[in-house]
């Protein structure tokens, strides 16, 4: 990745696989001459990209948990 590569998305953990789904991000060109912007999964201007970043930054922080056997059972085991 280049210096301008930045953004956010989400990850999915299905069938033992991790999938990454970018939502809003910027991507440097391979030759270093430009940056391409995406907002909400679509090609965007730098202004649209920054607006989407600002909206995301205004949301509450995600909850993070230590990856322990106890926390996995507590937060992810299906309840019968």
Percent of the chain with pLDDT over 90: 51
Task: Look at residue 56 and give its three-state secondary structure.
Answer: helix
Q: How do residues 51-61 score in pLDDT, each as one tens digit?
A: 999 999 999 99
Distance CA 59, CA 21 (A): 19
* pTM for the model: 0.69
What pLDDT score was predicted for residue 67? Answer: 83
Q: How do residues 34-52 score in pLDDT, each as one tens digit?
A: 999 999 999 999 999 999 9
Task: Look at residue 52 and give its three-state secondary structure.
Answer: helix
């Amino acid at each position: 990745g280049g210096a301008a590569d930045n953004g956010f998305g989400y990850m999915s953990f299905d069938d033992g696989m991790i999938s990454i789904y970018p939502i809003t991000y910027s991507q440097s060109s391979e030759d270093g001459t430009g940056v391409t912007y995406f907002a909400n999964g679509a090609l965007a201007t730098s202004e649209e990209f920054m607006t989407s970043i600002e909206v995301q930054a205004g949301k509450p922080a995600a909850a993070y948990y230590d990856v322990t056997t106890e926390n996995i059972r507590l937060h992810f085991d299906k309840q019968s």
